[in-house]
Chains A and B, each alone.
Chain A
């Protein structure tokens, strides 16, 4: 069963704009991770935020986590056409310390 729900399901922006994707989840977590997937194959790990962290940065990525609201957001700044992909949040926890539970993803299209 799906734990996370991403919002929006699809997002289309122009190069240079910022993209924000949201994720909500249901149970307690150890950490939350964001992955990127190009062309329906091969998930690439982007960033991991622990349950006791509120914000984390990695290059053009900024992730926030609000455990009281059971939600997270992924911000991609100064987007590029190469950022076009599907983005998934995945939670680890809820009694398991290894199993990732994925949301349904946000399809991001960055137009040149």
Chain B
């Protein structure tokens, strides 16, 4: 079946603009995760959704970052007033349920470049 998809694959934006990144998880997966990969920080956890609620937002780096999930499916990560340090690859993953031993399936990522 279809894997996790993300759009856009690449996004170039000017500093100060807002961006929205989209994630379509595998159908039937109730848990969804956002991670960020950058040269300086490696792979970092951002936020976890179980259904439409986000019990763990601890990885969001600032209040400029927000995410939502609707219908227990699609998720959108929004970055307001982008800064150059936001440049990174944003990865989304989903799993059947959230919990130990459930494999997380990753999407191809969105490469964000802030100029």
**Residue interface bits B101-115, CB-to-A below 8 A is 1, else 0:** 111111111010000
Report the Cα distance A44→B105, complex, angstroms: 7
Q: Which of B20-28, B41-49, B77-85 touches A?
A: B41-49
Count of chain A residues with Cβ under 8 Å from any Cβ of B?
27
Contact A2 B107 (CB under 8 A): no
Q: Is the CB of A98 within 8 A of B100?
A: yes
Size of the chain B interface, CB-CB below 8 angstroms: 28
Q: Is the CB of B101 within 8 A of A41?
A: no
A25 to chain B, nearest CB (A): 14
The complex places the Cα of A98 from the Cα of B95 at a distance, in Å, of: 10
Q: Does A30 contact B (CB under 8 A)?
A: yes
- Cβ contacts under 8 Å, A101 to chain B: 45
Contact A41 B31 (CB under 8 A): no
Q: List 27 A-B contacts (CB under 8 A).
A: A30-B101, A31-B100, A35-B106, A40-B37, A40-B89, A41-B89, A41-B109, A41-B111, A42-B106, A43-B93, A45-B104, A50-B101, A93-B100, A96-B56, A97-B98, A97-B100, A98-B33, A98-B56, A98-B99, A98-B100, A99-B48, A99-B56, A99-B59, A100-B45, A102-B43, A102-B44, A104-B42
Which A residues lie at the B interface, using CB under 8 A? 2, 30-31, 33, 35, 40-45, 48, 50, 88, 90, 92-93, 96-105
Query: What is B's interface to A at a CB cutoff of 8 Å?
Result: 31, 33, 35, 37, 42-45, 48, 56, 59, 89, 91, 93, 95, 98-109, 111
Name the 9 nearest CB pairs between A and B, nearest first. A102-B43, A43-B106, A97-B100, A98-B98, A30-B100, A42-B108, A104-B42, A41-B109, A99-B45
